[in-house]
A = this chain, B = another copy of it.
Amino acid sequence: MPEEFALAVDVGGTRLRAALVDREGCVTHRQSLATPADEGAEAVVAAIARACRAVLSESAVAGDLKIGLCAPGPLDAKRGIALATPTIRGFTGFPLRQAVKDAVGLDVAIENDGPCAALGEWTCGAGRGTSDFVYVTISTGIGGGIVSGGRLLRGRLGLAGHIGHIPIKPDGGAICFCGHPGCWEAEASGSALQRKARSAGFSSLENALERASRDEASAVAFAKAAADDIALGLVAVIHVLNPQRVVIGGGVANAFDVLGPLIRPRVDARLMPPFRGVEIERSMLGDDTGLIGAAQLVLRPVQD
């Protein structure tokens, strides 16, 4: 009989969250604390353990609880190693799975945050019922995860879904944190759009999109240009994978009422005809996407 609950942990560069999560994605006994990202891997593991123990002591769940944990990649999920997470000091060649197992005393599965979020939306959110589905998170960067033929794609080291580094404007595009010009995330992430909004004279991205929702001409023009940049990477992903549905999460999804109707026709216009009509929807799980996906790592057998 499968476990009813998992102890889910979502390690972000800023916040670290833990909770009990069931197969249907119900989240209880939440704990959240600041990620000591500058203090090194041992401090982060200690914080993870503290959050986990708080969940365990409050919930008093009996039985064989397992930990499902997601963190910013690149992680080698199969071997349980953080390879080179840029936002957390010491997550370089660090045996994260074993360290958390030792600190908490429970079995651990880890996964890159993009595929893990895809797993959450696929099993409990806006990807439900599909076999071919791509989750795209547009926030500080752009990341994602892929479900194809009813399976979560991992690739050789579990790094599949690093879609933010598709080069869409290699000649003269903005410089990405990876050092190269014109990556999709350097053009269309929340941070990139924030920068573009300010240089277009808006006080912030949120301000620009809010004014676009009130049909201010210059703000609408800005929103259309943002939708153009978002669409280019989606077009790449859709031609490679032929998904039924794309779900957009991350901070930019908060403006989906404005951006969604601008993105859809731009994507369709650049797709070859048989690819058109891909469903482009907003995340249903919001900030809990990663936490819910992390739980499913241990609650559902994922076919490899």
Residue numbers in B under 8 Å from A236 (CB-CB): 165-167, 236, 240
Q: A242, B156: Cβ atoms under 8 Å?
A: yes
Report the minimum CB–CB distance from A191 to chain B (whole Å).
17
Residue numbers in B under 8 Å from A180 (CB-CB): 270
Residue numbers in B under 8 Å from A219 (CB-CB): none
Residue numbers in B under 8 Å from A58 (CB-CB): none
Stoichiometry, copies per complex: 2
Q: A149, B151: Cβ atoms under 8 Å?
A: yes
Residue numbers in B under 8 Å from A270 (CB-CB): 167, 180
Q: A149, B153: Cβ atoms under 8 Å?
A: yes
Q: A74, B272: Cβ atoms under 8 Å?
A: yes
Q: B157, A242: Cβ atoms under 8 Å?
A: yes
* Cα-based distance from A270 to B166 in the complex (angstroms): 10
Looking at chain A's contact residues, the main secondary structure is: loop
Q: A240, B162: Cβ atoms under 8 Å?
A: yes
Interface size on A, residues (CB 8 A): 48
B131, B149, B151, B163: the one contacting A240 at CB < 8 Å is: B163
B154, B171, B275: the one contacting A169 at CB < 8 Å is: B171
The residue on B at minimum CB distance from A165 is B239
Interface members, chain A 71-87 (any B CB < 8 Å): 74, 76, 83-84
Report the minimum CB–CB distance from A282 to chain B (whole Å).
20
Residue numbers in B under 8 Å from A156 (CB-CB): 131-132, 242-244
Report the minimum CB–CB distance from A127 to chain B (whole Å).
13
**Given A162-B242, A170-B168, CB of A132 within 8 Å of CB of B155:** yes
Assess whether A160 is interfacial by the CB under 8 Å rule. Answer: yes
A residues near B (Cβ < 8 Å) are 74, 76, 83-84, 131-132, 146, 148-149, 151, 153-171, 178, 180, 232, 235-237, 239-244, 270-275, 304
Further 16 A-B residue pairs, CB within 8 A, beyond A166-B235, A240-B240: A83-B274, A84-B274, A148-B154, A153-B241, A154-B242, A156-B243, A157-B242, A157-B274, A159-B242, A159-B274, A165-B236, A166-B240, A167-B232, A236-B236, A237-B240, A240-B241
Among all A-B residue pairs, the 5 with the closest Cβ atoms:
A155-B242, A159-B242, A166-B236, A74-B274, A165-B239
